[in-house]
Amino acid sequence: MHPIYNVERRKCRTKAILKNRGTNEKSLFVDAARYRGRKLSRPGVIGTKGAIALACSVKVRNSEAAEDVAIVLAMLSRSHNRIISDSKPSFGNYTSAWASVEAARIENSKTKHFKNGVITPRYLKFIPAHMGEDKRTEHPP
């Protein structure tokens, strides 16, 4: 969907996805942001109640790699099985079994957990996000 011409369609799709999957206690939302003026990014993993589940600072070459790292961090959670991302490139990377070098390093360090079944299969879902300003009167800290 085109981000400018299909705004209403994107909003409807996002609302439907969040209604069906976003309120599930086993869902995690992933995102990443770049520190201003630095080569560091901050990938984060957030639960359905808005609490930060995991976050870190990582030196990556671009925002796509930071989003990849956020997805890997979510995969390491043992109590969640749904990962919701707004990064179409990272979603494509994982659905075609490819990840950035930075994300692959984390995955490789946890290979034994994947092989032993400690880390079970996950469901990855793309949602079109960043769809306007937040109208809430109260914002979380």
Q: Please give the Cα distance from 40 to 44 (Å, whole number).
A: 13
pLDDT, position 70 = 92
pLDDT, position 129 = 67
pLDDT of residue 141 exceeding 60: no
The model's pLDDT over 120-132, given as tens digits with 9 standing for 90+, comes to: 778 888 877 654 4
Provide the H-helix boundaries in 18-133. Answer: 63-75, 88-95, 101-109, 111-115
pLDDT, position 10 = 64
Angle at the Cα of 117 from the Cα atoms of 113 and 118, rounded to 5 degrees: 55
pLDDT, position 110 = 78
Domains of the chain are 7-126 (3.30.420.10)
- Say if strands 82-85 and 27-34 run parallel, antiparallel, or are unpaired: parallel
- DSSP per residue, 54-82: EE--EE-SSHHHHHHHHHHHHHT-SS--E
The rounded mean pLDDT for the chain is 77
